[in-house]
Amino acid sequence: MTSKQAALRLEKVERHYEQGENRLTILDGADMEIEAGALVALVAPSGAGKSTLLHIAGLLERPDGGDVFVNGESCGAFGDDRRTAMRRQAIGFVYQFHHLLPEFSALENVMLPQMIRGLSHKVAAERARELLGYMRIGKRAEHRPAELSGGEQQRVAIARAVANNPFVLLADEPTGNLDPTTSGYVFDALTALVRQSGVAALIATHNHDLARRMDRAITLRDGKIVPHVF
């Protein structure tokens, strides 16, 4: 794989925090590439910098040095408006809690990011129904989040995250609140969607069983991104 093939690339990324007179280094020349259609597990203990890495990769936080490339495009010099546009168009996010809007149905939750992007109600609805069907919850499309199970809520959240056909999907413990059986079912749906859509997925998880099922696993050590050894 060459860098040009990477949907997400971090190049010599630095991130430091000042704590009084001390400097805490989270990322120190961190490099990473994820190709389209790949599932990569991010496995590291709490406090190691997983959230910082995801925030920088998702353009939610600026690194102190280095650059982030999304589909080959350097994002380092982007202003706030351009970063926001890139997040909206090219990056999808899934969190441990679904963060669905409670007053809207599952269908409407998946439609919203598309309509914000400028798609018509009809086109957004068709895409949303297609995704919910693919996630095997099409029959629950008109239900609000409170009427859905935890696994159903998370599948709606995943469908929403990929509604705009992003190049990159970032997930932070997406099955962390689910029981093992439901967790496995949601992960299967997520895997199928990644393969079908060709999105590059970076998934932070403490679940080693799920991590082993991905294409590879990485961790953070001394500010570097290195392969994770189970």
In this prediction, residues 103-114 reach a mean pLDDT of 96
pLDDT at res. 97: 80
pLDDT, tens digit (0-9, with 9 covering 90-100), for 34-47: 999 999 999 988 77
Are 169 and 131 in contact by the 8 Å Cβ rule? The answer is no
- Which tokens in the block code for residue 101? 């809007």
By the 8 A CB rule, do 4 and 40 touch?
no
Local confidence band at 22 (pLDDT 50, 70, 90 cut-offs): confident
Q: What is the pLDDT of residues 160-209, one digit of tens each?
A: 999 999 999 999 888 888 888 888 888 888 898 888 888 999 999 888 98
Q: Identify the pLDDT of residue 1.
A: 38
pLDDT of 4: 47
Across 75-84, average pLDDT = 92
Arithmetic mean of pLDDT over the chain: 90
Burial of 155 (0-12, 13-18, 19+ CB in 10 A): buried
68 pLDDT band, cuts 50/70/90, is very high
Q: What's the average model confidence in pLDDT over 72-94?
A: 91
Calculate mean pLDDT across residues 123-150.
Answer: 93
Residue 3 has pLDDT above 60, yes or no: no
pTM: 0.89
CA dist list (Å): 162 to 22, 72, 175, 219:
40, 19, 17, 25
